Amino acid sequence: MGSKIESISKLSVIKLGFVIATILLVYTSIIYEAFAQPKYSAPNIAGGNGPQKTAISTSSVILPSNSNNNTSISSNTTNPGNVPKQTAINTFNASGLIDTLISNTSKVNASSNNNNSSNSSISSTGSTSALITQQKRLSTYYILGGYWSLDVVVGKVRQLESNFTMVHLNGTGYHTHQLTNFKPNSVVPVLLDPKGMTFIGIMDIKLNGHYKWYGVQTTIAINKLNTIAIYPNPKYTANHFNGQPIFGIVTSIKDQNGKELITKSHSP
């Protein structure tokens, strides 16, 4: 009898323990649901109630245009929130003319002073002296004429060449130059930009068909797709170009398929 009562008591204790454990589990679940942290939600920095957006800058995107401006290329400077439809034009060919005037400032000033100081003698000796004075002044100026071309492939300058004649305005000092073997100094890509583009590198310069100066630091600037300025550092050329840029005109810019990208109007 005593053994039976002891078995019933043990069974009751087990059942009671099971009930207590169940109650504690339910209670713990209720407390967890009451104090659980809400899920994290990223802030919407672009405004509105939609999903988060990231502003995408496309300042280098250049799109062909059919406008009637002098240069029919337009630029899409910003495009927030949208993936650009077209990448920048980084493969192109440009070419044109070299057409510039270079003066030796010191000689020009000296010639002007001599001309002012000898006005009375010129008027007394007649047109011959005036012509000699004019010829001296013309010998202080160089006129440059020729061609240039530029090839850019995937933002890298593959070739930059220029051939031109250099001669005094009075016909003396005739000689030729070739700018060749351009190597860029920077890894920054060269992209077609209607506002202009500038890049630097080194070039070799020939005189009358023979190499004269090697590794000349040179800056090239194309302005509004209309003009080009090639500036060899005068320290590397014995100041042969009198510290002045070699200017030219852009006559053509073509994409990698040979399509002309600019049109020129003839209005002033």
Could you read off the pLDDT of 151-196 as tens digits, one per residue? Answer: 999 999 999 999 999 999 999 999 999 999 999 998 899 999 999 9
pLDDT score of 139:
74
pLDDT score of 17:
64
pLDDT score of 183:
96
pLDDT score of 241:
96
pLDDT score of 102:
93
* Whether the Cβ atoms of residue 262 and residue 211 lie closer than 8 Å to each other: no
pLDDT score of 262:
82
Q: CA-CA distance, 129 to 122, in Å (whole number)?
A: 5
Overall pTM > 0.85: no
Which distant-in-sequence residues (6+ apart) come within 8 Å of 248 by Cβ?
96, 97, 98, 99, 100, 148, 162, 227, 228, 229, 230
The region that residue 258 occupies, defined by phi over 0 for left and psi between -120 and 50 for alpha, beta otherwise, is left
b/e burial code for range 103-128 (CB count within 10 A of at least 16 → b): ebeeeeeebeeeeeeeeeebeeeeee
pLDDT score of 30:
53
**Residue spans of the chain under pLDDT 50:** 31, 34-85, 108-113, 115-125
pLDDT score of 235:
96
